[in-house]
Amino acid sequence: MPNYYPVFLDLHAKRAVIIGGGTLAESKIAKLLDAGAKITLISPKINDGLKATLEQGSFEWLEREYRPGDLAGAFLGIAATNARPVNEQIFQEAKEASILLNVVDEPLQCSFIAPSIVSRGPVTVAISTGGASPALARKLRETLSASPALEWADMAEVLSRARKQVKKQGAVIDPQRWQCCMTSDLLAMAQDGQEEEALSSLLSKLLDDTSPKLCSTLEKCQPSGCGRKPGECAA
């Protein structure tokens, strides 16, 4: 198995060519549309789900079989047919043109693989087994989706705003300080819609080294968040 480099791609307005009109193609297209890709689907037939999406004008459909040259101008391609000889042709074209390609269920013919995704707000967690077991990736996705740890994604907007404010002030905050300041109290504020209060409290903790609720030195910060009682971090 190849050793893949994990990366998130900006596909906005980039051309993606999908060959195949079944359930696999449908699931791929849904995620590509979310990413803002400009999609061309090539297949003599498409399923009802794809027909419904097509009616919304979401992608272009070429109602025919794949032809060599169909990947021309594409940023990436996805081969989702049930015909291995066709998938092999698509693979060879993509390889010669240096186009990113995913051949469904054929990891050795993929220049990229699509991970299982867990999303909450602006936070996306991608899970991959390197093509070893899609079933395991799905199991991990389902487990993570139900995990309380994912609730921390609800702080993303507050943290984003705080980061902009810190940069604007020209301050440099140690990464561990951010960890220390991400407390359950702040999370509760964000979840209760008290974003302004959460932002104010977070900035105060980040920028005020004398705060009684923070360790006096970064070396004493704990990854789980300080929230210490006075005297606990005494040297």
Q: What is the pLDDT along the chain (235 residues), one digit of tens a residue?
A: 678 889 999 999 999 999 999 999 999 999 999 999 999 999 999 999 999 999 999 999 999 999 999 999 999 999 999 999 999 999 999 999 999 999 998 888 999 988 899 999 999 999 998 878 889 999 999 999 999 999 999 999 999 999 999 999 888 888 888 888 889 999 999 999 999 999 999 998 888 765 545 554 545 555 444 544 444 443 3
**Exposure of 151 by Cβ count < 10 A (0-12 exposed, 13-18 middle, 19+ buried)?**
middle
Model confidence, pTM: 0.76
Q: Which CATH class is domain 115-146?
A: alpha beta
The residues of the chain that CATH labels 3.30.160 are 115-146
Fold designation for 15-114: Rossmann fold (3.40.50)
Kindly provide the b/e burial profile for residues 16-41, where b requires at least 16 CB atoms within 10 angstroms of the residue's own CB: bbbbbbbebbbebbeebbeeebbbbb
The residues of the chain that CATH labels 3.40.50.720 are 15-114
The closest alpha carbon to 35, from 107, 114, 89, 144, belongs to: 114
**CA of 53: how far to CAs of 41, 47, 132, in Å?**
12, 10, 31
